[in-house]
Amino acid sequence: MFVHEIGEGMHGVVGLHGWSGDHRTFAPLWGRMPADWIFFSPDLPGCGQSDAPKEWSFRGLAREVAEEVVHLGMRDLVLVGSCSGAILTAFVARELREMGRPEVVSRLVLIDPFAFCPWYFRFFLLPFVGFPIYALAFANPVGRWLTNLSLQDKKAGDTDLTQSFARVDHRVTWKYLRMLDECGFPGQFRGLPLAVDILYGQKTFSAVRKSVGIWKEALPQARVRELAGVGHLPISEGTEEVAKVVFGGLKVKGRKRTRRRQCAGFRKPRSRTIRRPSTGWATATSRGREWTGISWRRCGITGKRRTCSIRLPSRSCTSWRRVTARGCGC
Protein backbone atom coordinates (compact mmCIF):
# COMPACT_ATOMS: atom_id res chain seq x y z
CA MET A 1 0.00 0.00 0.00
CA PHE A 2 1.37 3.40 -0.97
CA VAL A 3 1.65 5.80 1.99
CA HIS A 4 2.62 9.46 1.62
CA GLU A 5 4.48 10.67 4.72
CA ILE A 6 5.15 14.29 5.61
CA GLY A 7 6.56 15.91 8.75
CA GLU A 8 8.29 14.49 11.79
CA GLY A 9 7.38 14.40 15.44
CA MET A 10 5.86 12.52 18.33
CA HIS A 11 2.23 12.97 17.28
CA GLY A 12 0.82 11.22 14.23
CA VAL A 13 -2.23 11.44 11.97
CA VAL A 14 -3.44 8.85 9.46
CA GLY A 15 -5.81 10.22 6.82
CA LEU A 16 -8.19 7.89 4.95
CA HIS A 17 -9.60 9.53 1.82
CA GLY A 18 -13.14 9.07 0.57
CA TRP A 19 -14.86 8.12 -2.65
CA SER A 20 -12.79 8.96 -5.78
CA GLY A 21 -9.98 10.38 -3.63
CA ASP A 22 -6.32 9.54 -2.98
CA HIS A 23 -3.59 10.69 -0.62
CA ARG A 24 -3.76 14.22 -2.06
CA THR A 25 -7.18 14.70 -0.43
CA PHE A 26 -5.39 15.88 2.73
CA ALA A 27 -2.85 18.18 1.02
CA PRO A 28 -4.53 21.39 2.35
CA LEU A 29 -3.86 20.22 5.92
CA TRP A 30 -0.14 19.61 5.42
CA GLY A 31 0.68 23.30 5.33
CA ARG A 32 -1.09 23.87 8.67
CA MET A 33 0.48 20.95 10.49
CA PRO A 34 2.40 21.84 13.69
CA ALA A 35 6.14 21.20 13.74
CA ASP A 36 5.90 18.21 16.13
CA TRP A 37 3.35 16.26 14.04
CA ILE A 38 3.66 13.70 11.25
CA PHE A 39 0.95 12.96 8.67
CA PHE A 40 0.51 9.58 6.98
CA SER A 41 -1.78 9.69 3.96
CA PRO A 42 -2.24 6.32 2.19
CA ASP A 43 -3.80 5.53 -1.13
CA LEU A 44 -6.46 3.02 -0.16
CA PRO A 45 -6.21 -0.39 -1.89
CA GLY A 46 -7.09 -0.04 -5.57
CA CYS A 47 -6.76 3.77 -5.50
CA GLY A 48 -3.89 5.97 -6.62
CA GLN A 49 -0.60 4.06 -6.49
CA SER A 50 -1.85 1.14 -4.37
CA ASP A 51 -2.66 -2.33 -5.64
CA ALA A 52 -6.20 -3.70 -5.60
CA PRO A 53 -7.48 -5.06 -2.27
CA LYS A 54 -7.39 -8.76 -1.49
CA GLU A 55 -11.10 -8.70 -0.71
CA TRP A 56 -13.75 -6.29 -1.98
CA SER A 57 -15.44 -5.62 1.37
CA PHE A 58 -15.04 -2.94 4.03
CA ARG A 59 -14.04 -5.59 6.57
CA GLY A 60 -11.24 -6.93 4.36
CA LEU A 61 -10.21 -3.39 3.43
CA ALA A 62 -10.07 -2.39 7.09
CA ARG A 63 -7.87 -5.38 7.91
CA GLU A 64 -5.31 -4.33 5.27
CA VAL A 65 -5.31 -0.71 6.47
CA ALA A 66 -5.04 -1.78 10.13
CA GLU A 67 -1.98 -3.91 9.38
CA GLU A 68 -0.38 -0.97 7.58
CA VAL A 69 -1.13 1.36 10.50
CA VAL A 70 0.47 -1.08 12.95
CA HIS A 71 3.60 -1.18 10.78
CA LEU A 72 3.98 2.59 11.23
CA GLY A 73 5.25 1.84 14.73
CA MET A 74 3.44 4.69 16.52
CA ARG A 75 0.94 4.95 19.35
CA ASP A 76 -2.04 7.23 20.01
CA LEU A 77 -2.56 8.08 16.36
CA VAL A 78 -5.41 10.30 15.20
CA LEU A 79 -7.39 8.46 12.52
CA VAL A 80 -9.07 10.90 10.11
CA GLY A 81 -11.67 9.84 7.55
CA SER A 82 -13.27 11.98 4.86
CA CYS A 83 -16.62 11.23 3.22
CA SER A 84 -16.94 7.44 2.88
CA GLY A 85 -13.47 7.13 4.47
CA ALA A 86 -15.08 8.14 7.76
CA ILE A 87 -16.88 4.84 8.23
CA LEU A 88 -13.67 3.06 7.27
CA THR A 89 -11.91 4.67 10.25
CA ALA A 90 -14.39 2.97 12.59
CA PHE A 91 -13.82 -0.36 10.83
CA VAL A 92 -10.04 0.08 11.20
CA ALA A 93 -10.31 1.02 14.90
CA ARG A 94 -12.38 -2.09 15.56
CA GLU A 95 -9.93 -4.28 13.65
CA LEU A 96 -7.06 -2.90 15.74
CA ARG A 97 -8.87 -3.85 18.93
CA GLU A 98 -9.52 -7.35 17.60
CA MET A 99 -5.81 -7.60 16.70
CA GLY A 100 -4.92 -6.74 20.31
CA ARG A 101 -3.47 -3.34 19.39
CA PRO A 102 -5.95 -0.79 20.77
CA GLU A 103 -3.15 1.58 21.81
CA VAL A 104 -2.32 2.40 18.20
CA VAL A 105 -5.30 4.78 17.73
CA SER A 106 -6.61 7.18 20.39
CA ARG A 107 -9.04 9.40 18.48
CA LEU A 108 -11.23 9.42 15.38
CA VAL A 109 -12.07 12.49 13.29
CA LEU A 110 -14.99 11.98 10.90
CA ILE A 111 -15.21 14.68 8.21
CA ASP A 112 -18.55 15.05 6.41
CA PRO A 113 -19.25 11.36 7.06
CA PHE A 114 -21.76 9.11 5.36
CA ALA A 115 -23.46 6.51 7.55
CA PHE A 116 -25.24 4.82 4.65
CA CYS A 117 -25.41 4.81 0.86
CA PRO A 118 -27.93 7.51 -0.26
CA TRP A 119 -30.79 6.49 -2.52
CA TYR A 120 -29.48 8.51 -5.46
CA PHE A 121 -26.18 6.59 -5.38
CA ARG A 122 -28.07 3.31 -5.54
CA PHE A 123 -29.11 4.10 -9.12
CA PHE A 124 -25.45 3.48 -10.00
CA LEU A 125 -25.68 -0.01 -8.46
CA LEU A 126 -28.67 -1.26 -10.42
CA PRO A 127 -28.06 -4.51 -12.35
CA PHE A 128 -26.95 -4.05 -15.97
CA VAL A 129 -27.71 -0.30 -16.19
CA GLY A 130 -26.03 0.92 -13.00
CA PHE A 131 -22.47 1.26 -14.26
CA PRO A 132 -23.49 2.92 -17.57
CA ILE A 133 -25.46 5.51 -15.56
CA TYR A 134 -22.38 6.05 -13.34
CA ALA A 135 -20.15 6.43 -16.42
CA LEU A 136 -22.55 8.97 -17.91
CA ALA A 137 -22.28 11.14 -14.77
CA PHE A 138 -18.61 10.74 -13.80
CA ALA A 139 -16.53 9.04 -16.49
CA ASN A 140 -16.63 11.81 -19.10
CA PRO A 141 -15.86 15.56 -18.93
CA VAL A 142 -19.33 16.70 -19.99
CA GLY A 143 -21.05 14.49 -17.42
CA ARG A 144 -18.72 15.72 -14.66
CA TRP A 145 -19.33 19.36 -15.64
CA LEU A 146 -23.11 18.90 -15.58
CA THR A 147 -22.99 17.00 -12.28
CA ASN A 148 -20.83 19.67 -10.66
CA LEU A 149 -23.15 22.37 -12.00
CA SER A 150 -26.16 20.65 -10.43
CA LEU A 151 -24.40 20.63 -7.03
CA GLN A 152 -23.79 24.38 -6.75
CA ASP A 153 -25.62 24.62 -3.44
CA LYS A 154 -23.51 21.79 -1.92
CA LYS A 155 -20.18 23.59 -2.11
CA ALA A 156 -18.46 26.85 -1.27
CA GLY A 157 -16.85 29.12 -3.83
CA ASP A 158 -15.33 27.58 -6.94
CA THR A 159 -14.84 24.09 -5.49
CA ASP A 160 -15.20 21.34 -8.08
CA LEU A 161 -16.93 18.32 -6.52
CA THR A 162 -16.24 16.05 -9.49
CA GLN A 163 -12.66 17.02 -10.39
CA SER A 164 -11.12 13.97 -8.67
CA PHE A 165 -13.09 11.60 -10.91
CA ALA A 166 -10.91 12.62 -13.87
CA ARG A 167 -7.94 10.60 -12.55
CA VAL A 168 -9.51 7.44 -11.10
CA ASP A 169 -10.09 3.89 -12.23
CA HIS A 170 -13.88 4.03 -12.58
CA ARG A 171 -14.36 0.30 -12.06
CA VAL A 172 -12.59 0.59 -8.70
CA THR A 173 -14.60 3.69 -7.74
CA TRP A 174 -17.84 1.90 -8.62
CA LYS A 175 -16.82 -1.11 -6.48
CA TYR A 176 -16.11 1.21 -3.52
CA LEU A 177 -19.63 2.55 -3.84
CA ARG A 178 -20.98 -0.99 -3.76
CA MET A 179 -18.92 -1.72 -0.62
CA LEU A 180 -20.41 1.36 1.05
CA ASP A 181 -23.90 0.04 0.28
CA GLU A 182 -23.06 -3.34 1.82
CA CYS A 183 -21.01 -2.31 4.88
CA GLY A 184 -23.88 -1.76 7.35
CA PHE A 185 -24.75 1.08 9.73
CA PRO A 186 -22.66 2.81 12.46
CA GLY A 187 -24.71 1.06 15.16
CA GLN A 188 -22.30 -1.87 14.84
CA PHE A 189 -19.60 0.32 16.42
CA ARG A 190 -21.63 1.15 19.51
CA GLY A 191 -19.42 1.06 22.61
CA LEU A 192 -16.18 1.82 20.74
CA PRO A 193 -14.07 3.39 23.54
CA LEU A 194 -12.43 6.19 21.59
CA ALA A 195 -12.66 9.97 21.51
CA VAL A 196 -14.55 11.03 18.38
CA ASP A 197 -14.87 14.39 16.61
CA ILE A 198 -17.40 14.88 13.81
CA LEU A 199 -17.19 17.81 11.37
CA TYR A 200 -19.67 18.56 8.62
CA GLY A 201 -20.35 21.47 6.29
CA GLN A 202 -23.37 23.69 6.62
CA LYS A 203 -24.09 23.31 2.87
CA THR A 204 -23.45 19.58 2.63
CA PHE A 205 -25.85 16.88 1.43
CA SER A 206 -28.95 16.16 3.52
CA ALA A 207 -27.79 12.53 3.65
CA VAL A 208 -24.64 13.65 5.49
CA ARG A 209 -26.64 15.73 7.99
CA LYS A 210 -28.85 12.72 8.65
CA SER A 211 -25.74 10.55 8.94
CA VAL A 212 -24.28 12.84 11.62
CA GLY A 213 -27.31 12.11 13.82
CA ILE A 214 -26.87 8.37 13.23
CA TRP A 215 -23.19 8.57 14.15
CA LYS A 216 -23.98 10.59 17.29
CA GLU A 217 -26.52 7.98 18.36
CA ALA A 218 -24.03 5.14 17.83
CA LEU A 219 -21.11 7.01 19.45
CA PRO A 220 -22.64 9.33 22.08
CA GLN A 221 -19.20 10.52 23.18
CA ALA A 222 -18.70 12.19 19.80
CA ARG A 223 -18.25 15.97 19.67
CA VAL A 224 -20.06 17.47 16.69
CA ARG A 225 -19.27 20.75 14.93
CA GLU A 226 -21.00 22.33 11.96
CA LEU A 227 -18.71 24.45 9.76
CA ALA A 228 -20.50 27.60 8.64
CA GLY A 229 -20.48 28.36 4.92
CA VAL A 230 -18.74 25.08 4.08
CA GLY A 231 -20.01 22.42 1.67
CA HIS A 232 -19.20 18.74 1.21
CA LEU A 233 -15.42 19.26 1.09
CA PRO A 234 -14.48 20.79 4.46
CA ILE A 235 -10.79 19.93 4.06
CA SER A 236 -10.43 22.34 1.14
CA GLU A 237 -13.27 24.76 2.00
CA GLY A 238 -12.78 25.05 5.78
CA THR A 239 -9.14 24.05 6.10
CA GLU A 240 -8.26 26.18 9.13
CA GLU A 241 -11.16 24.94 11.25
CA VAL A 242 -10.53 21.32 10.25
CA ALA A 243 -6.82 21.65 11.08
CA LYS A 244 -7.62 22.96 14.57
CA VAL A 245 -9.71 19.88 15.30
CA VAL A 246 -7.37 17.34 13.71
CA PHE A 247 -4.20 18.65 15.37
CA GLY A 248 -5.59 19.83 18.68
CA GLY A 249 -8.94 18.30 19.61
CA LEU A 250 -11.51 21.11 19.66
CA LYS A 251 -9.06 23.57 21.21
CA VAL A 252 -7.17 26.31 19.42
CA LYS A 253 -3.51 25.36 19.62
CA GLY A 254 -0.84 27.83 20.54
CA ARG A 255 -2.51 29.95 23.20
CA LYS A 256 -0.87 29.66 26.60
CA ARG A 257 -1.32 31.45 29.89
CA THR A 258 1.46 33.21 31.76
CA ARG A 259 1.75 33.02 35.52
CA ARG A 260 0.18 36.03 37.23
CA ARG A 261 2.50 37.71 39.71
CA GLN A 262 1.74 40.33 42.32
CA CYS A 263 2.72 43.82 41.23
CA ALA A 264 3.26 46.04 44.26
CA GLY A 265 1.99 49.61 44.07
CA PHE A 266 -0.25 49.06 41.10
CA ARG A 267 -3.59 47.49 40.28
CA LYS A 268 -4.18 43.76 39.87
CA PRO A 269 -1.81 42.32 37.23
CA ARG A 270 -3.35 41.55 33.87
CA SER A 271 -2.50 39.11 31.07
CA ARG A 272 -3.21 40.10 27.49
CA THR A 273 -2.69 38.50 24.09
CA ILE A 274 -1.00 40.49 21.34
CA ARG A 275 -1.65 39.48 17.73
CA ARG A 276 0.71 40.59 14.99
CA PRO A 277 1.14 39.14 11.48
CA SER A 278 4.92 39.17 11.83
CA THR A 279 5.22 37.15 15.04
CA GLY A 280 1.93 35.26 15.19
CA TRP A 281 0.87 35.78 18.78
CA ALA A 282 2.30 36.72 22.14
CA THR A 283 1.05 36.51 25.70
CA ALA A 284 2.20 39.44 27.82
CA THR A 285 1.95 39.93 31.58
CA SER A 286 2.34 43.20 33.46
CA ARG A 287 5.26 43.56 35.88
CA GLY A 288 5.91 47.00 37.30
CA ARG A 289 6.02 49.47 34.44
CA GLU A 290 6.73 46.89 31.75
CA TRP A 291 4.96 44.15 29.82
CA THR A 292 6.92 40.93 29.33
CA GLY A 293 5.96 37.79 27.51
CA ILE A 294 6.73 35.16 24.91
CA SER A 295 6.10 35.29 21.20
CA TRP A 296 6.05 32.50 18.62
CA ARG A 297 7.17 32.63 15.03
CA ARG A 298 8.30 30.11 12.42
CA CYS A 299 11.85 30.05 11.06
CA GLY A 300 11.88 31.07 7.39
CA ILE A 301 14.47 28.39 6.59
CA THR A 302 13.51 25.31 8.60
CA GLY A 303 9.80 26.08 9.12
CA LYS A 304 10.12 25.10 12.79
CA ARG A 305 8.46 27.12 15.54
CA ARG A 306 10.88 29.29 17.48
CA THR A 307 10.48 31.06 20.81
CA CYS A 308 11.10 34.79 21.09
CA SER A 309 11.35 36.69 24.37
CA ILE A 310 9.84 40.16 24.13
CA ARG A 311 9.72 43.22 26.41
CA LEU A 312 6.93 45.71 25.89
CA PRO A 313 7.27 49.09 27.65
CA SER A 314 4.16 50.48 29.30
CA ARG A 315 3.37 53.51 31.40
CA SER A 316 1.74 51.48 34.14
CA CYS A 317 0.18 48.10 34.85
CA THR A 318 -3.23 49.43 33.93
CA SER A 319 -2.35 50.80 30.50
CA TRP A 320 -2.20 48.86 27.27
CA ARG A 321 -0.36 49.60 24.06
CA ARG A 322 0.24 47.58 20.89
CA VAL A 323 3.95 47.98 20.23
CA THR A 324 6.53 46.15 18.17
CA ALA A 325 8.42 43.43 19.99
CA ARG A 326 12.06 44.14 20.75
CA GLY A 327 14.91 41.83 21.70
CA CYS A 328 13.66 38.84 19.65
CA GLY A 329 15.44 35.63 20.68
CA CYS A 330 15.30 34.09 17.19
Q: Domain containing 167 — which CATH number?
A: 3.40.50.1820
Q: Are residues 82 and 181 in the same domain?
A: yes
Mean pLDDT for the stretch of residues 162-174: 93
pLDDT band at 157 (very low <50, low <70, confident <90, very high): confident
Give the pLDDT of residue 155. Answer: 85
5-28: pLDDT as tens digits? 998 888 999 999 999 999 999 999
Q: Are residues 220 and 289 in the same domain?
A: no
Give the pLDDT of residue 302. Answer: 53
Range(s) of the domain holding residue 166: 3-248
Residue after which a domain boundary falls, among 248, 273, 298? 248
**pTM to 2 decimal places:** 0.73
For residue 248, the one-letter residue type is G
Q: Are residues 211 and 239 in the same domain?
A: yes
244-260: pLDDT as tens digits? 999 985 443 333 333 33
* Number of structural domains found in the chain: 2
Q: Are residues 241 and 169 in the same domain?
A: yes
Mean pLDDT for the stretch of residues 166-185: 93
248-306: pLDDT as tens digits? 854 433 333 333 333 344 333 344 444 434 444 444 444 444 444 544 445 455 555 54
Q: Are residues 34 and 170 in the same domain?
A: yes
Q: Are residues 131 and 270 in the same domain?
A: no
Q: Are residues 23 and 106 in the same domain?
A: yes
Q: Are residues 230 and 144 in the same domain?
A: yes
Mean of the per-residue pLDDT values of the chain: 80
Residue after which a domain boundary falls, among 224, 248, 272? 248
Least confident of 42-51, 158-167, 230-239, 310-319: 310-319
Q: Are residues 243 and 271 in the same domain?
A: no
